[in-house]
Amino acid sequence: MTTKTLLFLLGMTSLFILLLVLGVFWAIRSGQFDDLEGPAQRILMDEDDPMLPGNQQKNSADRKPES
Amino acid sequence: MCCRGCQAVAAAIVENGLEAYYSNRTEMPHSGQEVLPQDIRKLALYDHPEIQRSFVIDAGEHAREAVLILEGITCAACVWLNERHLRQLGGVLEVDVNYASHRARVKWDQRQIQLSDILREIQLLGYNAHPYSARQADELRRKRKKTDLQRLAIAGIAAAQVMMLAVALYAGGWYGIEPATQRLLRWFSLILTIPVATYAAVPFYRSAISGLRSGHLNMDVPVALAILSAFGGSVWVTVLGGTQVYFDTIAMFTLFLLATRMLETGAQEKSIESAENLLKLQPAMAMRVRGEQQDYVPVLELVTGDIILAKPGETIAADGEIMEGQSGVNESLLTGESRPVAKTVGSKVIAGSVNQDGPLLVRVTGTGEQTVLAGIVRLVDKAQAEKPRIAQLADRVAAWFTLVILVFAVLVYAGWWYVDNGRAFEVVLSVLVVTCPCALSLAVPAAIAASGSHLIRHGILVMRGNALESLSHVTHVVFDKTGTLSVGEPAIVDIRPAAGASEEDCLRLAASLERNSEHPLAHAFLTRAGRMPLLEVTQPVNHPGQGIQANIDGVLYRLGSAEFAGVDRLPAGGQTGEAGMSAVWLSRDGQSLAEFVLSDPLRPDAAQAIEALVERGIGVSILSGDSIEAVGHAAGRLGIAEWRARQTPESKLAALREWQAAGRVVAMVGDGINDAPVLAGAQVSFAMGTGTDVASQTSDIVLLSSRLADVAVALDTGRSTHTVMRQNLAWAIVYNLIALPFAAMGFVSPWVAALGMSISSLIVVLNALRLR
């Protein structure tokens, strides 16, 4: 009984390990570890900054033309 | 705005709505540049399929991909600006700027946009982009890094799982466990450990084998032996039954070692990359001259013996010898010396240096991998492979230690066989595991990796592992003056107008004249003039090596040497003929207007840095090739009592030897090639990383930010690193000496041994991490 439970759990573990290894290998191969500093900095840069061109067009209706 | 270039940059930034750059930047970038029409024409050449072949990859039917090196990235805001700006261009599919290596991967649709457009846009932002063709070594290193990461991942995942199972096994050993369950858990651990022993730990086996082949026991021999014997023993126990398995030990051991080695190589790779980026500053194209025909060809196609034409302002594409023409060539790339070096027929020029005054016909003597620059980069590669003496000592100790352990293990086995043969294997395993020189072999590399990453965050690059160790012994720091204590770029220190002329008018006239000059001294005038409105000049003529002349309001002005300006030296001139101080005369129709005295100002943090060193009880002196007045003046202002002026490289070295003979441990701080012998002779050498100084890459430590205060930081870190190394070594040795007799007498069960070994290595690593 306990051995059966254990076997089941170990089987699940192997499945997870397999997924884990595949995931990590995929991440390594796709270059996610190439730059360890950039992403940390990039998160500080606002994507919804009103200054950005894309957002600027959205807001241009209620914005006076410059100069 | 200081110039039209900056204006263009600001306009480009604001027009495109990227003002956030100004609020996000954390460091001032280099000033932007004007994009000249001929530059644009030259950029267009990058669209040539022939030239693109070397660095552009086809990434689909119309998609093309290239890696660009960005010059001038100083902080994350620059990365953001470039990425943002490029991404919004029509036709650009993907942009990815690597913050660490300053390289951008760009993918574009060639039906909508050309590579030259992308390069031009980057230039408009004020950065320089160079296409990058991956060197073989670079590609290899990237692949190895990925493999290393995979090994680490395997070891990490396996270690986590095996440790969990080990808890069950240890608990079972204590409270009792069903043999079937125990067997099951052991088999599962065995399966999990197979990839660790056969894949993750491979580098240790390789290194051990190559070490044994070359005839000495290196650090990896005991490591490989420990892993293999523990694995073999555990497999034996799993299959045939026994008391203890060590799969957890194997996985953890491998994980620890791989992780520390990764930290170690990471710091080294960063320095190699920055050196390699310099190499890529060589242009991709050169104008080849064949008879009457002149055309741009990729540098890759140049062969020795080709004749190339280097126009003024262009970077010379290959090493060579001048056939025709004379000019000043800026070799700051190699020497850090910003003043151009005069070159004439027969002189040698190096790839990457900038031709300043006149056109040069150059016969190619070396390209690509054969250039001086490439040689220096290779040298950096080699320097990285060097191990510090103390690590070598640890290696040697570990080697002897292994030998002793092996002999001892055999004796213990024989002894226990005689006393109680049932316990013999268990005791020997305990002995092997508990004394595994893991802590010993980690002691030094862990400390070096930790302090290396600490220093690199301060902009201090350690090129040779030896340096960290020697740093702790330094009792005396010797500075070079020009370019080290001083900025290395001339600035106007005095304006002496002739009777009746005002200082401001003269400066305005001079700056207006110099606006059209590429000469390094011109920069000094423009800097001094600042925002002063400049005058319109007509018919400017540049006389290389003499000066510049032009008409302002119909009157002829000349600025240059006394002879050129046609003036007698002003009587009140003072000591301006000295090295380091130069004088420039301004004349109107041959009538003297003013004398400008240019000199090299001290770095703003020089005084503070010297004070910091004196506070630490470290002696400071100056060795300089400059004049007695100039050096005396600088020494007086900085409060340095011991200085020597007018030193040749040989006499500098002689002075150094003299001090060393007196028992001082000397660190030399220098910048140029004239300091090279002293830098090599000193126990530790620092080089200023100002701009593009490849020569600095040959010294022990490079101060990337060129802050003199970093010398004190490096010395402090060196001292604490040394302390930590000694603590670590002492701990490892004491631990082993205590554990060994206990294990041999059979008091230590293998799992306690494994725990003891793991904890002892953990202590070593944690102690090293204090340095970060």
Question: What is residue A19's predicted lDDT score, i.e. its pLDDT?
Answer: 95
Closest Cβ opposite residue A3 in set B24, B98, B184: B184
The pLDDT-based confidence of A16 (bands split at 50, 70, 90) is very high
Residues on chain A touching B74 (C-beta within 8 angstroms): none
Residues on chain A touching B77 (C-beta within 8 angstroms): 45
- Note whether A3 contacts B: Cβ–Cβ < 8 A: yes
The series of mean pLDDT values per 10 residues for chain B, 772 residues long, is: 50 66 57 53 70 71 80 69 79 78 80 84 76 65 86 92 88 83 90 92 86 70 78 87 79 79 64 58 74 75 82 80 82 58 79 79 80 62 54 68 79 86 73 70 74 74 73 87 76 78 82 72 75 77 76 84 69 45 78 80 84 89 79 84 80 84 86 66 76 54 78 89 88 86 80 74 81 75
Say whether A29 and B161 touch across the interface (CB within 8 A). Answer: no
Q: Evaluate if residue A48 carries a pLDDT over 90.
A: no
Q: How far apart are CA B64 and CA A26, in angstroms?
A: 24
Q: Which two tokens stand for residue B129?
A: 């982009």
Q: Which two tokens stand for residue B682?
A: 């000193």
Nearest in space to B398 (alpha carbons), one of B531, B223, B261, B238: B223
Give the full edge-to-edge strand order of the sheet including B491-497: B491-497, B591-599, B582-588, B555-560, B547-552, B538-543
**Coil, helix or strand for B338?**
coil
Say whether B188 and A7 touch across the interface (CB within 8 A). Answer: no
The residue length of chain B stands at 772
The pLDDT-based confidence of A22 (bands split at 50, 70, 90) is very high
* Residue type, position B181, single letter: T
Question: What is residue B660's predicted lDDT score, i.e. its pLDDT?
Answer: 84
Which member of B319, B357, B480, B675 is catalytic? B480
Domain B285-370 has CATH 3.40.50.300: no
Kind and range of the H or E run holding B333: helix B332-335
Q: How far apart are CA B158 and CA B194, in angstroms?
A: 9
Q: How far apart are CA B548 and CA B244, in angstroms?
A: 87
Contact of B130 with B176, CB cutoff 8 Å: no
Question: What is residue A23's predicted lDDT score, i.e. its pLDDT?
Answer: 94
Say whether B181 and A29 touch across the interface (CB within 8 A). Answer: no
Enumerate chain B positions whose Cβ falls within 8 A of a Cβ in A. 16-20, 24, 76-77, 79-80, 84, 88, 97-101, 142, 146, 149-150, 153-154, 157, 161, 178, 180-181, 184, 188, 192
Cα B756 to Cα B270, B395, B528, B738, distances in angstroms: 35, 22, 67, 11
Closest-CA residue in chain B for A26? B150
* Secondary structure string (H, E, C) spanning B618-630: CEEEEECCCCHHH
Buried b (16+ CB within 10 A) or exposed e, B130-146: bbbbbbeebeebeeebb
Closest-CA residue in chain A for B99? A38
Cα B395 to Cα B222, B402, B441, B725, distances in angstroms: 10, 10, 7, 13
Q: Evaluate if residue A65 carries a pLDDT over 50.
A: no
Q: Which two tokens stand for residue B321?
A: 């010898």
**Coil, helix or strand for B92?**
strand
B480 is known as an active-site residue: yes
- Say which CATH architecture domain B4-133 belongs to: 2-Layer Sandwich (3.30)
* Residue type, position B73, single letter: I
**Spans of all domains in chain B:** 4-133, 139-271+385-448+721-769, 285-370, 449-487+604-720, 491-599
Question: What is residue B553's predicted lDDT score, i.e. its pLDDT?
Answer: 82
The residue length of chain A stands at 67
CATH: 3.40.50.300, 3.40.1110.10, 3.40.190.10, 1.10.3720.10. Which one for B491-599?
Answer: 3.40.1110.10
| DSSP-derived secondary structure for B642-665 | EEE-S--HHHHHHHHHHHHHTT--
What's the ipTM? 0.74
Neighbours of B410 (CB within 10 A): 11
Closest Cβ opposite residue B19 in set A7, A37, A51: A51
Closest Cβ opposite residue A38 in set B79, B161, B181: B79
Closest Cβ opposite residue A35 in set B16, B100, B178: B100
Residues on chain A touching B11 (C-beta within 8 angstroms): none
Contact of B448 with B468, CB cutoff 8 Å: yes
Residues on chain B touching A24 (C-beta within 8 angstroms): 150, 153, 157
Phi, psi of B374 (to 5 degrees): -65, -35
| Fold classification of B449-487+604-720 (topology level) | Rossmann fold (3.40.50)
**Coil, helix or strand for B447?**
helix
Contact of B428 with B416, CB cutoff 8 Å: yes
Cα B605 to Cα B196, B449, B484, B612, distances in angstroms: 51, 29, 11, 11
Question: What is residue B171's predicted lDDT score, i.e. its pLDDT?
Answer: 86
Q: Which two tokens stand for residue B84?
A: 């943002």
**Coil, helix or strand for B70?**
strand
